[in-house]
Amino acid sequence: MQKKYADLLKTKCCKKSYEKLTALNNAGLFEFVRKYTELCNPDSVYVCDDSDQDREYIGNRALENAEERKLAIDGHTIHFDGYNDLARDKTSTKYLLPQGADLGDALNATDKETGLEEIHRYLKNIMAGKEMYVLFFSLGPTNSEFSISAVQITDSSYVAHSEYILYRRGYEQFKKIGNSKSFFRYVHSAGVLENGVSKNVDKRRVYVDLEDNIVYTVNTQYAGNTVGLKKLSLRLAIRKASQEGWLAEHMLIMGVHGLLRERITYFTGAFPSACGKTSTSMLKGESIVGDDLAYLRKKEGKIYAANVECGIFGIIQDVNPKDDPAIWKSLTSPGEVIFSNVLVTEKGVPYWLGDGREVPEKGSNYSGEWQKGKKDSQGNEITYSHKNARYTVSLYGLKNVDCQLDNPEGVWIKGIIYGGRDSSIWPPVQEAFNWTHGVITFGASLESETTAATLGKEGVRQFNPMSNLDFVSIPLGKYVAHHLKFIEGVPVPPTIFAVNYFQKTKTGKYLTAMEDKRVWVKWMELRVNHDVDAVKIPTGYIPRYADLKKLFREVLRKDYSEGEYAEQFTVKIKGNLEKIERIAEIYKTKITDAPDTLFKVLKEQKARLEESRAKYGDNVVPTVFL
């Protein structure tokens, strides 16, 4: 057996790469690498350890392979994905179900045997003529209770480079796990490249094998489909967490800094893609631990969270010096940044939607050579930068990075925020009555209007529990029940809040400004620290006008009128009741094992809303509840 391994891998790896693999002393890992080397048949295999030389090697390969191009500012590069490969592909992402297993109708799954046969067929010889990279990372801070070791196989130096920016290096940690099988595995190939982008996107597949903790992804480059440690891991981690009693969530982690005293209170926040998660985590005056993925664990009667990542793969739309000063600085100063799918001029200057600069006449973008007015084959104008264009940067270079980012203990979480894109129902901020009420009516009832971060039509209201629907890998009812149970043994669980940055008037104008988020988080900070009272409405607690007026003044130097308060916090009884009906119907008909508590809590909420409607009508101004 050993000889067979040696024969194939020795011919494909240089001596050093081969030694790096054997030094890990992990038979399962070795067999995994061998198997996919044989199947994918690359010309050579390069194994990376935690050294800076290997990181540099990968960065250089991305340029040599033309998966990235240098831009004018030192350290900046541009990568383009194919025109039909610019977002997560939900349709082609499927769980591989062993016989007899069932994840419920809400999750996309296919028979494991058939799926494996298909993906292995696609992978056969797919790396011929290419180099294969083998990389080791840690999900979560290394050497901590949170860490999960992971190995990535890919033929894309862009994917490998992105992972070096986004994750903590994990080769040395891997050494410590010895012969353990407890690690996550990813196999990726961009497939045949034409003009630098995946050619066979019609054969794009992302298949998740939960039993063996392996994700396979082929014929795609977009990082949301390919960077194993990001959304592909989240799926594996959710299942692992449910078995082990912790939570793996699509959540930011941030430190909110008290106005009254020098105190930092940590929050997590779940928002569907492109609904203000990164911009919340980057708010001026606060500090960022993470913008996308969090693991939450219970310790000594408290909840702690750690960032799975150490970088940001952020959407680059409306990033400008006024609204996002910290990100703007890192995107316009020397340092390592990978831009993707923005417009780049001949001089190597990137432009993106909403950057506040004059749009150049021409350049290169995700459609190839671009000039103003360019149309696609359907006659639609091609925007100069894509709505889901991205930047990839390390958190370590940001001024507002929180000093606890790498704390192996994580940070103590006192508040959890749920937010969706909702033009008409939720107020800008509200607080749940208790953990169960928050989990059910905010988290499990989250709806959001769709965005460009996934393929498909935008602006459609969709059910997205905990903003994790795309990634949940256990039956949804069980997932909700797991949340309800999670705080058993926690005397004071985190307070749950809901925010909505997207309320609109009838004429389509936003009711709140981007910067108002800064006030909502300060109010939540005051609430979890018991510094202000609140107004009880049928769906939770909302701020008192006087507290917001003071906060608007202190935080934004803005006047905040009673009229604005009344409009933003009016309780929309009809909209809320309809929402309850929609949500209850989904849990009743599509999700077989929904917990009884869910229906009970929704019923109680319905009764409170109906009682208010009987007294005050359909739209109830908040002052009525004082």
Percent of residues in the chain assigned helix, strand, coil, to nearest 5: 35, 25, 40
Binding segment toward Mn ion, per CB under 5 A, in 116-124, 269-277, 337-345, 530-538: 269-277
Question: Is residue 470 part of the contact set for Mn ion (CB under 5 A)?
Answer: no
Instruction: For residue 276, say whether it is annotated as part of any ligand binding site.
Output: yes
Question: Is residue 292 part of the contact set for ligand OXD (CB under 6 A)?
Answer: yes
Q: Which two tokens stand for residue 308?
A: 């799975």
Instruction: For residue 305, say whether it is annotated as part of any ligand binding site.
Output: no
Q: State which H helix or E strand residue 485 sits in.
A: helix 476-486
Question: Is residue 292 part of the contact set for Mn ion (CB under 5 A)?
Answer: yes
Q: How is residue 59 annotated by DSSP?
A: H
What is the spatial distance between Cα 64 and Cα 343, in angstroms, rounded to a whole number? 21
CA proximity to 316, closest of 366, 266, 269, 360: 366
- Residue whose CB is less far from ligand OXD, 88 or 185: 88
Q: How far is the CB of 221 from Mn ion (least distance, A)?
A: 18
Partner from ligand OXD, Mn ion, none binding residue 313, C-beta < 5-8 Å depending on class: ligand OXD
Q: How far is the CB of 392 from ligand OXD (least distance, A)?
A: 10
Instruction: For residue 389, say whether it is annotated as part of any ligand binding site.
Output: yes
Partner from Mn ion, ligand OXD, none binding residue 317, C-beta < 5-8 Å depending on class: none
Q: How far is the CB of 148 from ligand OXD (least distance, A)?
A: 18
Instruction: For residue 278, say whether it is annotated as part of any ligand binding site.
Output: yes
CA proximity to 539, closest of 448, 494, 472, 605: 605
Instruction: For residue 273, say whether it is annotated as part of any ligand binding site.
Output: yes
Partner from Mn ion, ligand OXD, none binding residue 13, C-beta < 5-8 Å depending on class: none
Query: Do 2 and 88 touch, CB atoms closer than 8 A?
Result: no
Binding segment toward Mn ion, per CB under 5 A, in 159-167, 271-279, 325-333, 381-389: 271-279
Binding characters for ligand OXD, 444-463, by CB under 6 A (x = yes): ---------x----------
Q: Which residue is nearest to Mn ion (CB)?
A: 292
* DSSP string covering 304-344: EEEES-SEEEEE-SS--TTT-HHHHHHHHSSS-EEEESSEE
Question: Is residue 224 part of the contact set for ligand OXD (CB under 6 A)?
Answer: yes
Binding segment toward Mn ion, per CB under 5 A, in 26-34, 132-140, 285-293, 595-603: 285-293
Partner from ligand OXD, Mn ion, none binding residue 224, C-beta < 5-8 Å depending on class: ligand OXD
What is the spatial distance between Cα 206 and Cα 201, in angstroms, rounded to a whole number? 11
What is the spatial distance between Cα 589 and Cα 584, in angstroms, rounded to a whole number? 8
Instruction: For residue 306, say whether it is annotated as part of any ligand binding site.
Output: no
Instruction: For residue 546, say whether it is annotated as part of any ligand binding site.
Output: no
- How many CA atoms lie within 13 Å of 446's alpha carbon, on the beta-carbon side? 31
Active site residue 275: yes
Residue type, 473: S
Partner from Mn ion, ligand OXD, none binding residue 217, C-beta < 5-8 Å depending on class: none
Q: How far is the CB of 313 from ligand OXD (least distance, A)?
A: 5
Q: Which of 13, 275, 310, 403 is catalytic?
A: 275
User: Hey, CA dihedral for 494, 399, 419, 514, is it positive or negative?
Assistant: positive
Q: List Cβ neighbours of 506 (8 Å cut-off, separation of 6 or more).
A: none
Question: Is residue 242 part of the contact set for ligand OXD (CB under 6 A)?
Answer: no
Number of residues forming the site for ligand OXD (CB under 6 A): 6
Q: How far is the CB of 604 from Mn ion (least distance, A)?
A: 32
Q: List Cβ neighbours of 504 (8 Å cut-off, separation of 6 or more).
A: 423, 424, 510, 511
Partner from ligand OXD, Mn ion, none binding residue 453, C-beta < 5-8 Å depending on class: ligand OXD
Q: List Cβ neighbours of 385 (8 Å cut-off, separation of 6 or more).
A: 316, 317, 341, 342, 343, 351, 352, 353, 365
Question: Is residue 522 part of the contact set for ligand OXD (CB under 6 A)?
Answer: no
- Residue whose CB is less far from Mn ion, 292 or 402: 292
Query: Which residues, 296 to 335, sit near ligand OXD by CB under 6 A?
Result: 313
453-to-267, 401, 510 alpha-carbon distances in Å: 24, 25, 21
Query: Which residues, 73 to 92, sit near ligand OXD by CB under 6 A?
Result: 88
What is the spatial distance between Cα 580 and Cα 610, in angstroms, rounded to a whole number? 12
- Residue whose CB is less far from ligand OXD, 455 or 556: 455
CB-based contacts of 343-348 (< 8 A; 24+ apart in sequence): 343/370, 343/384, 343/385, 344/69, 344/71, 344/78, 347/72, 348/69, 348/70, 348/71, 348/72, 348/73, 348/76
- Residue whose CB is less far from Mn ion, 193 or 289: 289
Q: Which residue is nearest to ligand OXD (CB)?
A: 273
- Residue whose CB is less far from ligand OXD, 471 or 523: 471
Strand partners, 418: 270, 498
Residue type, 78: I
How many other C-beta atoms lie within 10 A of the C-beta of residue 241? 22
What is the spatial distance between Cα 371 and Cα 503, in angstroms, rounded to a whole number? 35
Task: Please give the positions annotated as active site.
Answer: 275
| Contacting positions for ligand OXD (CB under 6 A) | 88, 224, 273, 292, 313, 453
Annotated binding site for substrate: 88, 222-224, 273, 388-390
Annotated binding site for Mn(2+): 231, 250, 292
Annotated binding site: 88, 222-224, 231, 250, 273-279, 292, 388-390, 421
| Contacting positions for Mn ion (CB under 5 A) | 273, 292
